Amino acid sequence: RTGARVERLPLSRFTTLGVGGEAEVWFAETHEQLREAMEQPYRILGGGSNLVIADEGVPERVIRLSGALAERDLTPDPHLSEDPWVVTGWVGGGVPLPGLIRQLQKLGLSGLEGTVGIPAQVGGAVWMNAGTRYGEMFDGLHTLEIVTPEGTRQVTPDDLNWGYRDSGIPRNHIVTRVRLKLRRAAPEEVLAKMDFADQARKGQPKMKTPGCAFKNPGGVSAGKLIDEAGLKGSRVGNALIAPEHANFIVNLGGATAADVHALLGLIRDRVPVPMELEYELWP
Ligand code: FAD
Ligand code: EPU
């Protein structure tokens, strides 16, 4: 045994929607602990900000990167950095993205500020190339370390077929850490860009939610399509299609995964354009 902490816990505690039953959570603090956790069927949990987890929980081990896999070394690598570009040391997949973005701003490192306000962990945000119209994770990546039960490999963005909300990395290939490639800039300049990108969130609900339910089909706002179908304010149980923005489903308190699934079904039935789900549903 590698000594990884293992605990049976309600996953609702780890999701921004506040929904999800119990599972065996493996807190992997080192590569060795991660390898042990991956010896049986597993899922990888990041910030839980894009997940709708069943009220029954999941039977697989749920891995959470912590300890050394949630640390960051933002020191410029002297061999890889060339003015104005800075390539950092390793940033763990378990690092919370919002704090990292604030830290990069203070250091005057530009490239990822467009992702301000995304309540993810670095690994989860990289895995789905989270972003806004002001920037996405792949704008600031130099190298990615990916771990699977078969072993560990390092890749660059050029090795991956990434795009809108998609890294091209298969499910359950774990992004353990990344090196960032950023540009030196005045901290005030980075802050101004963050504030600008943050303006786009003014119309988003402030309640418990897993973010946008559907990806924008062909660049059209899914929220606008759901709104035009007259679905704002629709409620099933304690889940509600937000009156502020129709692509957000919010938990009014005590919502179940079944409530959210019912609203997703209603949207699929009523919106005439096919839309791809952005959330991930467990199981
Ligand atoms: P989780 O929700 O924990 O997991 C999502 C998926 O990533 C799962 O398949 C999981 O297995 C996988 N995963 C997690 N960690 C890893 C890892 N280390 N390696 C490999 N796979 C992993 N998204 C946007 O793109 N743009 C936005 O503007 C945006 N705004 C949001 C606003 C709010 C208020 C909320 C709640 C969400 C928002 N989201 C947004 C959605 C969400 O933040 C993103 O989808 C984010 O990428 C999810 O990352 P996570 O770490 O929370 O992953
Ligand atoms: N709109 C409506 N009704 C609605 C929602 C939106 O008419 O209910 C209209 C707005 O008025 C606006 C247009 O649609 O004219 C676009 O809306 P918004 O600016 O809110 O952007 P979006 O395309 O709906 C995308 C991302 C968000 C991201 C914002 C800001 C997707 C699926 N959504 O939303 O990302 O925060 O841009 O950059 O790409 C997420 O992915 O989880 C997410 C929250």
Whichever domain contains 48, its CATH number is: 3.30.43.10
Mean of pLDDT over the chain: 98
Distance CA 66, CA 258 (A): 30
Q: Verify that 49 and 118 share a domain, yes or no.
A: no
Q: Verify that 47 and 91 share a domain, yes or no.
A: no
Q: Verify that 144 and 116 share a domain, yes or no.
A: yes
**Looking at residue 122, which CATH number applies to its domain?**
3.30.465.10
Q: For residue 177, tell me if it sits in a domain.
A: yes
Q: For residue 121, tell me if it sits in a domain.
A: yes
Q: Verify that 86 and 63 share a domain, yes or no.
A: no
Residue 1 has pLDDT above 90, yes or no: no
Among all ligands shown, which has an atom nearest to the Cα of 221? 2
Q: Verify that 114 and 87 share a domain, yes or no.
A: yes
Residue 205 has pLDDT above 90, yes or no: yes
Asked if 70 and 60 count as a contact pair (C-beta separation under 8 A), the reply is no
Q: For residue 132, tell me if it sits in a domain.
A: yes
Which stretches within the chain are classed as H helix? 31-37, 97-107, 122-127, 187-199, 222-228, 257-270
Q: Verify that 59 and 88 share a domain, yes or no.
A: no
Distance 221 CA to ligand 2 centre (A): 6
Q: Ligand 2 pocket, 245 CB below 6 A?
A: yes
pLDDT digits (tens, 9 = 90+) for 53-101: 999 999 999 999 999 999 999 999 999 999 999 999 999 999 999 999 9
Q: For residue 137, tell me if it sits in a domain.
A: yes
pLDDT digits (tens, 9 = 90+) for 243-252: 999 999 999 9
Domain that holds residue 241: 217-282
Q: For residue 209, tell me if it sits in a domain.
A: no
Residue 79 CB partners (closer than 8 Å, separation 6+): none
Which of 213, 236, 234, 216 shows the shortest CA–CA distance to 224? 216
Assigned token pair, 138: 């792949």
Decide which of 142, 170, 199 is a domain's last residue.
199
Q: Ligand 1 pocket, 130 CB below 6 A?
A: yes
Q: Verify that 116 and 230 share a domain, yes or no.
A: no
Assigned token pair, 148: 């699977």
pLDDT digits (tens, 9 = 90+) for 115-133: 999 999 999 999 999 999 9
Share of the chain above pLDDT 70, in %: 100
Among all ligands shown, which has an atom nearest to the Cα of 17? 1
Q: Verify that 108 and 19 share a domain, yes or no.
A: no
Question: In the annotation, is 165 catalytic?
Answer: yes
pLDDT of residue 277: 97
What average pLDDT score do residues 206-225 get?
A: 97
Question: In the annotation, is 13 catalytic?
Answer: no
Beta bridge partners, 43, equal: 62
Residue 16 has pLDDT above 90, yes or no: yes
Decide which of 28, 49, 68 is a domain's last residue.
68
Q: Verify that 142 and 46 share a domain, yes or no.
A: no
Q: For residue 265, tell me if it sits in a domain.
A: yes
Q: Ligand 1 pocket, 93 CB below 6 A?
A: yes
Residue 30 has pLDDT above 90, yes or no: yes
Distance CA 176, CA 68 (A): 10
Q: Verify that 32 and 77 share a domain, yes or no.
A: no
Q: How many CB atoms lie within 10 A of CB 27?
A: 19
Cis peptide before 272 (omega within 30 of 0): no
* Tally of domains within the chain: 3
